[in-house]
Amino acid sequence: MNLLVNLAGLLIAAFVVWWFWLWKPRQALVSAGRPIDILVDDGIYEPAYIETPKGQPLTLRFLRKDASPCAEQVIFHGLDISETLPIGKPKEIRFTPKQAGTFRFTCQMQMYQGQLKVTD
């Protein structure tokens, strides 16, 4: 019995490690001048990995379904953008990335995680 409990604990720990540190989204959604819809629900942004060329105006349309305060804000680290997301109503965030690089976007507690890759 004890062994089983320990095993379960180990599995949970492994899952947490994978979820927070190892998991890397593989499929990038490439913006081609069109707005990108991002669903905010169940602790994840969908899609969570977005690619866009430098110097091209970008529109991200966040639709927040998660009513928990955790999902309330989206912060683009290194881009000086932070917005409050209403529940059940799309929120458009428009900007033109001026430098190439990979920028994280997260909720204020950094539970929700996403990446914006700006290509040269």
List 10, 16, 30, 109, residue binding Cu ion (CB under 5 A): 109
107 vs 118, which CB is nearer to Cu ion?
107
List 107, 113, 114, 116, residue binding Cu ion (CB under 5 A): 107
Each residue of 72-109: b (16+ CB within 10 Å) or e?
Answer: bbbbbeebebebebeeeeebebeeebeeeeebebbbee
CB of 101 to Cu ion, least distance (A): 23
Strands lying side by side in the sheet with 36-41: 44-46, 36-41, 58-64, 91-95
Q: Does 70 bind Cu ion (CB under 5 A)?
A: yes
Q: Does 111 bind Cu ion (CB under 5 A)?
A: yes
CB of 86 to Cu ion, least distance (A): 16
- Chain residues in the site for Cu ion (CB under 5 A): 70, 107, 109, 111
